[in-house]
Chains A and B, each alone.
Chain A
Amino acid sequence: MFEKDMSVMKKLLGEIADSENGRRIMLAVKYNQVSKVHLIVLRALLEGMGKRGLFVTVDRPHQYMEYLLKLNRIDHRNLTFLDMISNFSGEVPNRGANVKFGASPFGIASLIDMLENGGADVEGGSVDVALLDFLMMDNLSSMLIYNSMGEVTSFLERYLRLIERYGTLFTAIVIEVNSDPKLYECLTRLCQKCFQFTDDGQLQPLNPTVPEAAPGNEQVSESIIIFAPQKRTGPFPRPSGAGA
């Protein structure tokens, strides 16, 4: 990682730490910067805050992120992967001690069932969310390839309730703005702070209602939304037109 990436990580850590009652932060990221920002967020959580977490991969096999973590010397001993996609990737899965495999990215409800119930039906052993500090998914929008909008919305609702139930759990949710503007709109309504990760590697404040942040704008075509621990009150704001 470059020096400017480290400064972004420090700024991000400051924003998360500045949250006695929790903080919801959105990072708007160009689609081709997501891997880099994944690394920044993971470094902040694993090394900067000493957290223990689960990284769920639905977009690409876990070994790519694991490789980047190793290459960038990010201590990921406290990170477990739940790989939902390798069985469909045409590759030989890299079976390590810290990897568990889900059957498929279809039937998104089974993933949240698994997280809620301690990881039954997972190849490689169970996942006890109670022992974790954070959950992260590589790309929620990829679920729209395999599941309906209603199913993904329902998953998100249950996922956020799961985070609330544990109270101490962080999560970082990645969505592609262009792929699902309704989910984006729904999530940005939950966020208290928004930043844009610029092409030159800076983290700048962003008002998500300004035209530059509108769905379809290439500069913010992807968002990483971080929920620091906080008890949310009130109903989950369902996106308009999301059927079951």
Chain B
Amino acid sequence: MYALNRVPSGIVGLDDMTEGGFPFPSVMLLAGSAGTGKTTFAQKFLFAGADSGERCLYLTTLSEPTQWMLRFASQFEFVDKRHFGTTIKYCDMGQMIRDGDAEKILNFIDERVAETMAQRVVIDPITVVGDFLKSSYRVFLFDLVNRLKNWQAVTLLTGEVKPGELYPPEVAYAADGVIVLYMSEEDGARRKYIEVVKLRGTNHVTGKFSYDITRKEGIMILKSKF
């Protein structure tokens, strides 16, 4: 049987649920509402790669300006600032997204991934792109996912969810894997849970696990299963 290579996610406890990490290459969707830790997860994923010598690329769309995102991210202990702009390249796609030209967006991403030869890529968040596109969002997602895999990288697309939605379905169909972060109000407190909903080629653990966001590790999965 052809065996898939796997990339460690960098998230404490997650690789135990996914047979050792994300398939390489692959495109993963990380879905969650505001405050669940999508950007923290994405940063930890990139810094884990950069710490082990991989090249990384962080593309921001229209969510949080890069300068502010980095200011907050720098509070985490796992953030080694020597990676800023060197092993991890940051690129703002805001203007490109506003123009809404799918082919230009795809070509722009191609160029950035190829010139950095990134092995880990984050697009944060992907869901806003659909709001601005002048052409089919589904076709865009198909082309995006296909191209990203052919560049030989593991890409994490973050996705914002609407109220009542578990994950953005159009992205989930295109992605190789779907990880959901969500919050649940229990006994007057909001608890955070993570669930691997889909992961192609992987006998992954199902069910929701509680997690914490810590200054040292970023996202950390707690072992108790609910």
Contact surface of A with B, Cβ cutoff 8 Å? 31-32, 34-36, 60-61, 64, 67-68, 71, 89-91, 141-142, 144-145, 176, 178-179, 199-200, 221-222
Contacts and interface: CB of A to CB of B under 8 A. Distances in A.
Contacts, number: 47
Contacts of B146: 89-91
B3 interface: yes
Given A142-B2, A145-B2, 20 more contacts: A32-B54, A32-B119, A36-B117, A60-B149, A60-B150, A60-B152, A61-B150, A64-B150, A67-B110, A68-B117, A89-B150, A90-B146, A91-B143, A91-B146, A141-B2, A144-B2, A178-B3, A179-B2, A221-B5, A222-B5
Interface in B109-163: 110, 114-115, 117, 119, 142-143, 146-147, 149-152
Contacts of B142: 90
B109 to A, nearest CB: 13
B79 to A, nearest CB: 20
Nearest to A144: B2
A106 B147 CA distance: 22
Given A68-B114, A71-B115, A199-B53, A179 B150 contact: no
A60 B149 CA distance: 9
The 7 A-B residue pairs whose C-beta atoms are closest, nearest first, are: A199-B53, A31-B5, A32-B119, A60-B150, A144-B2, A179-B3, A178-B3
27 contacts: A31-B5, A32-B5, A32-B7, A32-B152, A34-B152, A36-B117, A60-B150, A60-B152, A64-B114, A64-B150, A67-B110, A68-B114, A68-B117, A89-B146, A89-B150, A90-B142, A90-B146, A91-B147, A142-B2, A145-B2, A178-B5, A179-B2, A179-B3, A199-B52, A199-B53, A221-B5, A222-B5
Interface residues on B, range: 20 to 34
B76 interface: no
A224 to B, nearest CB: 14
Contacts of B24: 31-32
Nearest to A34: B152
Contacts of A68: 114, 117
B6 to A, nearest CB: 9
A111 B151 CA distance: 25
B117 A35 contact: yes
Contacts of A34: 152
Interface string B1-32: 01101010000000000000000100000000
A3 B152 CA distance: 22
Given A35-B117, A36-B117, A64 B5 contact: no
B206 to A, nearest CB: 25
